[in-house]
């Protein structure tokens, strides 16, 4: 590390056996995962809980009661940019659960915000602002179902072009 002119933070640095415990690095939790199809264990990545909580805090701040004056299209465009950027960064590994949490929280907060904006009574949010309305009419992005999970170590299949010699990531 001295050769690279880097210093090691002794308080944050630790050694671990990845098969027994996981660790967080660059927003990902790296550790032992299990395949839902086969049940076999593999080393994989998933978005860390801290980053998911931070995303929910950002959505909460965008849909607070102090933002009721803003236009719905503006709020949804900002939330869409946030969700799309977050999903583009966190696209490796098991992301379905994280995407589901982000989708559900964004819809819940958007419903609350719309209810406060239009001064509706408490029970009207779910029935009035259905998912289809939020997606089709207002244009809210849905992360769940955009990508499928693939592990970092998953085999690449050969490129369909004959003789090109490259590999393609499964889609």
Confidence of residue 12 (pLDDT cuts 50, 70, 90): confident
The alpha helices in the chain, defined as continuous H runs, are 49-62, 72-89, 96-117, 124-128, 131-132
Residue appearing with tokens 């790296």: 30
- 73/86 Cα distance (integer angstroms): 20
**Predicted model pTM:** 0.72
Residue from 65, 168, 167, 154 nearest 118 by CA:
65
Average pLDDT over residues 80-102: 89
- 21/45 Cα distance (integer angstroms): 13
Length of the chain: 171
Q: Is 27 helix (H, G, I), strand (E, B) or coil?
A: coil
Average pLDDT over residues 82-106: 89
Query: What is the helix (H) or strand (E) element at residue 168, kind and residue range?
Result: strand 167-168
Q: Is 13 helix (H, G, I), strand (E, B) or coil?
A: coil
Least confident of 41-50, 115-124, 151-160: 151-160
Contact partners, residue 37, CB within 8 Å, separation at least 6? none
Average pLDDT over residues 123-143: 67
Q: Residue 137: pLDDT above 90? A: no
Contact partners, residue 139, CB within 8 Å, separation at least 6? 73, 76, 77, 80
Confidence (pLDDT) at 57: 96
């Amino acid at each position: 590390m001295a050769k690279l002119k880097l210093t090691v933070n002794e308080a944050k640095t630790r050694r671990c056996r990845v098969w027994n415990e996981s660790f967080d690095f660059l927003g990902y939790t790296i550790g032992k995962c299990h395949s839902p199809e086969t049940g076999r264990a593999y080393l994989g990545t998933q978005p860390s809980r801290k980053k998911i909580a931070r995303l929910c805090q950002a959505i909460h701040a965008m849909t607070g009661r102090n933002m009721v004056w803003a236009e719905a299209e503006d709020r949804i465009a900002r939330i869409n940019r946030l969700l799309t950027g977050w999903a583009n960064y966190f696209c490796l590994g098991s992301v379905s659960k994280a995407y589901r949490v982000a989708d559900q929280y964004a819809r819940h907060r958007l419903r609350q915000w719309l209810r406060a904006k239009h001064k509706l009574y408490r029970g009207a949010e779910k029935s009035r602002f259905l998912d289809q309305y939020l997606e089709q009419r207002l244009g809210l992005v849905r992360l769940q179902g955009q990508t499928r999970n693939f592990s970092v170590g998953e085999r690449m299949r050969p490129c369909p072009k004959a003789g090109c010699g490259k590999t393609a990531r499964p889609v």
